[in-house]
């Protein structure tokens, strides 16, 4: 599959996972969901790799460590932000990752000097974020400033994680191995949280939701990893915003979330940014000169 198709599919699966998380959160604490989500992914990937004769050994453990550390830290900070902020605000701050990514790439291009970034792709990322802001209508009160800063940091760390995924792909690491080590990091972080908060009693419905969350996250991460490996970073960042319309549809159909003109306008901007990114990638693929940290 092409990078745009992979990214759209991953966005849909992540939105579906988010719906399952919303249902499971009535029974489980966030740390428990992180733990079981990561545990399911790690076990399935290890089993599939063994069955197919693959190996989980890596020649770049340091790269995996930093990718897992930044990704898991981003996830933990995002849950902390959710605990003290309106959910719309926390989600919007996490989606700042694409804007951070554009800034990182711009800074890298300036430092390299001989590389350039297509300004139109940067514009698609910023347009997509404007759509996210309209859909989620974020607000931060003065007493919530600390949680807001943590949410902002979660977006920055997520951007670093995405760029490291691209670097790992260019280093020859297969998608399953990248997702496996990230899952291990989530298991460690989730287990540490559960030692502090305790664990909840299981039910059949709860277990099914946890398994679904783990499987959806694993497949979506595999697709996202592959997309960042073969595609252009900023194009993928714009297409990632498609998770918002998918999640919006789940909220409307399953949780009676209201439909407003601001939300509809934001969805139009998000869709436009995603389509523009795909079009620009298709036109520029033969002569891609976008800076990528994996090249440096």
Q: How far apart are CA 236 and CA 190, in angstroms?
A: 28
Average pLDDT, rounded, for the chain: 78
Lowest mean pLDDT among 80-84, 156-160, 167-171: 80-84
Using pLDDT thresholds of 50, 70 and 90, give the confidence band for residue 206: very high
**CA angle, residues 123, 127, 132, in degrees to nearest 5:** 150
Q: From the CB of residue 249, how many other CB atoms can be counted at a distance below 10 Å? A: 15
Asked if residue 150 lies in contact with residue 77, where contact means CB atoms within 8 angstroms, the answer is: yes
Q: How far apart are CA 172 and CA 296, in angstroms?
A: 15
pLDDT for the residue numbered 204: 95
| φ, ψ (nearest 5 deg) of residue 243 | -65, -25
pLDDT for the residue numbered 207: 94
Q: How far apart are CA 247 and CA 263, in angstroms?
A: 12
Lowest mean pLDDT among 8-17, 194-203, 218-227: 218-227
Q: How far apart are CA 10 and CA 4, in angstroms?
A: 10
Query: Where would I find the H helices in the chain?
Result: 3-24, 30-51, 61-84, 87-94, 97-112, 119-136, 145-170, 175-197, 204-230, 233-240, 243-254, 261-284
Using pLDDT thresholds of 50, 70 and 90, give the confidence band for residue 35: very high
What does the pLDDT look like over 221-259, one tens digit per residue? 788 878 877 877 667 777 777 777 887 788 888 877 777
pLDDT for the residue numbered 209: 94
Tokens in use for 183? 């899952």
């Amino acid at each position: 599959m092409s990078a745009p198709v992979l990214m759209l599919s991953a966005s849909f699966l992540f939105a579906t996972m988010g719906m399952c998380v919303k249902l499971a959160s009535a029974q489980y604490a966030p740390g428990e969901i992180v733990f079981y989500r990561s545990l399911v992914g790690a076990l399935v990937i290890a089993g599939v790799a063994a069955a197919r004769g693959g190996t989980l050994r890596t020649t770049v453990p340091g790269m995996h460590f930093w990718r897992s550390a930044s990704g898991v830290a981003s996830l933990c900070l995002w849950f902390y932000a959710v605990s003290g902020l309106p959910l719309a605000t926390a989600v919007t701050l996490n989606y700042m990752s694409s804007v951070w990514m554009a800034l990182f790439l711009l800074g890298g291009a300036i430092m390299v000097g001989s590389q350039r970034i297509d300004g139109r792709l940067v514009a698609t990322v910023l347009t997509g974020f404007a759509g996210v802001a309209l859909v989620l209508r974020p607000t931060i009160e003065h007493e919530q400033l600390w949680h807001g800063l943590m949410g902002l940091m979660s977006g920055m760390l997520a951007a670093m994680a995405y760029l490291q995924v691209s670097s790992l792909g260019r280093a020859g690491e297969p998608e399953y191995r990248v997702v496996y080590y990230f899952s291990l990091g989530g298991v460690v972080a989730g287990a540490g949280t559960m030692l502090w908060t305790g664990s909840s009693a299981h039910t059949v419905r709860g277990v099914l939701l946890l398994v679904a969350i783990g499987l959806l996250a694993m497949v979506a991460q595999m697709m996202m990893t592959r997309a960042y490996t073969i595609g252009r970073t900023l194009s993928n960042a714009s297409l990632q915003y498609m998770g918002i319309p998918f999640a919006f549809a789940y909220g409307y159909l399953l949780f009676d979330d209201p439909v407003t003109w601001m939300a509809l306008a934001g969805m139009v901007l998000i869709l436009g940014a995603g389509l523009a990114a795909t079009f620009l990638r298709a036109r520029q693929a033969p002569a891609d000169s976008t800076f990528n940290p994996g090249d440096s």
